[in-house]
């Protein structure tokens, strides 16, 4: 069972990778090598599946796998076009040819999934016998749909998956896998993909479960791994190291963010990243994630002080950059800011100062970071968190400028938790960054709570409203005053246009902004 990272669209390279794995395992006496769902094309290929040339390229990549299958049976996922339509399929190769093919029957069409857009649902069970062991094939969502899963005559249920991670996902999977093992009285071999693909992160955490529902083995999370299993009609044995232990929730989130950043930057051909370092908690965490993902040599931090930037912010930013060993530059925005104000003086004549002047500061910083990105070839990472993005506490074309947003689905309170976790490994974030009141530092003595509720309250409202779709009345019933709830819900509604223009970011919850939550920008609907 090969838990590996397959790049979307890199079909020939994915085929070569699978062939190498298969031949290496064949040399060790392995008789069956299994790869995840849509491993040949990467997952999810989305509208690439609508291009005939993409499907043709997948078929044309098969000969290298046919050749490898002369030495060992190979099972892998790929899109398969037949006269009836396009299927999400599991291909079984043996002796240099297609031996069997299974078409996924349950096509997920919720949350981040829209497979009904591309695929036709299969309807036939497929069981393949190897050395007297009868393997029933299934693909990902099939195992969640017991009414369509057909494994009554099987000795083992073999499940190919591309199951993206979010908080609590591993526990959900285990419950379903154990239930199916007991239901069909046979072991379940559950193989998952690993890697980052745009907003999605695949954790791997592949499992072997015996017929009683006992988890016999579990691979490491967020890393490639190979799990070797000896299976007979009446026995099951895992032949490599003891099961990996589950990660704590905080560690799992951090590992997901690191993997998501690493794969997004690398797979899109960037050499490194540049980050605006403010001395605040969000940019400090983003910097640590970037270094852990890409290495210090590939990360550049830029402090861009204004007349409102506190001395401690500058010293803390310098301390963070030094602790992580990254290049650190300081570029004042005072001259560009005043140049903009001079250019606008006639247009602004008679107008009182307001958030316009604050936004100009943020946009000066965005221009500088994008200029550095253009010149160095490094991607700009934005540093905003989910709490800020929800209520629009961010500036379009300012601090929202960039290619990827690592903290886009991370609430403010979780940001602090992740910082303390990272500091438990090595202390890279000064303690006072975690204890001083957060501030955008765009006007004198500014703090975030001048404009927003306390973050603990705000995050609770957002969790109930955004992630659980609770009504205003239901949120008020949880113990939060109505005025605050209505204010926050109105901010979320008003700022949909900003989020639609935001950089993609790593999904870690069941309801992230982007693929999960698709609200109209133009809408007259009101809850209150």
Which one, of 502, 36, 43, 507, lies nearest residue 260 by Cα?
Answer: 507
26, 34 Cβ separation under 8 angstroms: no
CA gap 497, 494 in Å, rounded: 7
37 belongs to the catalytic site: yes
Residues 280 and 294: their CA atoms lie apart, in Å, by 21
- CA–CA distance, 526 with 363 (Å, rounded to integer): 32
Closest CA relative to residue 284, chosen from 251, 322, 250, 248:
322
What distance in Å separates the CA atoms of residue 199 and residue 187, rounded to the nearest whole number?
A: 33
Which residues are CB-neighbours of 414 under 8 A, at least 6 positions away? 253, 459
Q: Which of 17, 115, 140, 358 is catalytic?
A: 140
Is-catalytic flag, 140? yes
Distance of CA 377 to the CA centre of its chain: 23
The DSSP output letter for 504 is: P
Give the single-character DSSP code of 140. G
Q: Does residue 460 have an active-site annotation?
A: no
Which one of the listed residues 17, 37, 262, 419 is annotated catalytic? 37
Interior angle at CA 512, CA 466 and CA 224, nearest 5 = 150
Task: In whole angstroms, give the CA distance from residue 378 to residue 375.
Answer: 8
How far apart, in whole angstroms, are the C-alpha atoms of residue 371 and residue 88?
A: 43
Q: State how far the Cα of 490 lies from the Cα of 487, in Å rounded to an integer.
A: 5
**From 104, 267, 408, 460, active-site residue:** 104
- Cα 261 to Cα 508: distance, rounded to the nearest angstrom: 13
- Distance, CA of 431 to chain centre: 28
Task: List residues with catalytic annotation.
Answer: 37, 104, 140
């Amino acid at each position: 069972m090969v838990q590996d990272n397959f790049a979307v669209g890199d079909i020939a390279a994915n085929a070569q990778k699978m062939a190498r794995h298969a031949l290496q395992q064949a040399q060790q006496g392995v008789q069956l090598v299994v790869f995840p769902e849509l491993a040949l094309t990467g997952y999810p290929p989305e509208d690439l599946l609508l291009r005939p040339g993409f499907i043709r390229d997948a078929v044309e990549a098969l000969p290298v796998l046919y050749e490898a299958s002369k030495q060992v049976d190979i099972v892998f996922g790929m899109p398969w076009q037949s006269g009836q339509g396009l299927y999400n399929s599991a291909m079984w190769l043996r002796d240099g040819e297609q031996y069997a093919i299974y078409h996924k029957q349950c096509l997920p069409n919720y949350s981040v999934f829209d497979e009904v857009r591309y695929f036709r649902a299969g309807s036939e069970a497929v069981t393949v016998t190897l050395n007297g062991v009868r393997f029933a094939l299934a693909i990902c969502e099939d195992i969640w749909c017991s009414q369509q899963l057909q494994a009554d005559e099987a000795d083992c249920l073999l499940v190919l998956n591309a199951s993206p991670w979010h908080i609590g996902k591993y526990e959900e999977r285990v419950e379903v896998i154990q239930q199916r093992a007991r239901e069909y009285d046979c072991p379940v071999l559950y193989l998952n993909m690993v890697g980052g693909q745009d907003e999605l992160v695949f954790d791997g955490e592949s499992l072997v479960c015996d017929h009683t529902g006992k988890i016999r083995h579990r691979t490491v999370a967020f890393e490639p791994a190979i799990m070797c299993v000896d299976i007979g009609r009446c026995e099951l044995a895992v032949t490599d190291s003891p099961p990996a232990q589950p990660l704590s929730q905080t560690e799992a989130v951090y590992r997901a963010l690191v993997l998501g950043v690493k794969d997004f930057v690398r797979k899109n051909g960037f050499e490194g990243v540049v980050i605006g370092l403010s001395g605040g908690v969000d940019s400090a965490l983003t910097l640590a994630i970037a270094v852990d993902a890409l290495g210090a040599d590939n990360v550049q931090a830029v402090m861009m002080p204004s007349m409102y930037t506190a001395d401690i912010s500058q010293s803390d930013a310098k301390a963070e950059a030094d602790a992580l060993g990254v290049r650190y530059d300081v570029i004042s925005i005072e001259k560009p800011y005043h140049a903009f104000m001079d250019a606008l003086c006639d247009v602004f004549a008679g107008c009182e100062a307001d958030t316009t002047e604050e936004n100009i500061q943020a946009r000066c910083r965005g221009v500088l970071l994008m200029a550095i990105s253009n010149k160095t070839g490094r991607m700009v990472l934005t540093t905003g968190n989910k709490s800020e993005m929800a209520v629009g506490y961010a500036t379009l074309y300012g601090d929202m400028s960039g290619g990827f947003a690592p903290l886009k689905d991370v609430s403010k309170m979780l940001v602090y938790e992740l910082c303390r976790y990272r500091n438990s490994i090595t202390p890279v974030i000064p303690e006072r960054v975690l204890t001083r009141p957060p501030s955008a530092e765009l006007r004198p003595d500014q703090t975030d709570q001048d404009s927003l509720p306390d973050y603990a309250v705000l995050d609770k409202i957002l969790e109930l409203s955004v992630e659980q779709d609770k009504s205003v009345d239901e949120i008020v019933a949880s113990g939060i005053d109505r005025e605050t709830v209505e204010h926050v819900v109105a901010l979320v509604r008003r700022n949909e246009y900003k989020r639609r223009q935001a950089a993609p970011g790593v999904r870690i919850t069941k309801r992230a902004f982007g693929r999960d939550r698709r609200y109209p920008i133009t809408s007259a609907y009101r809850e209150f």
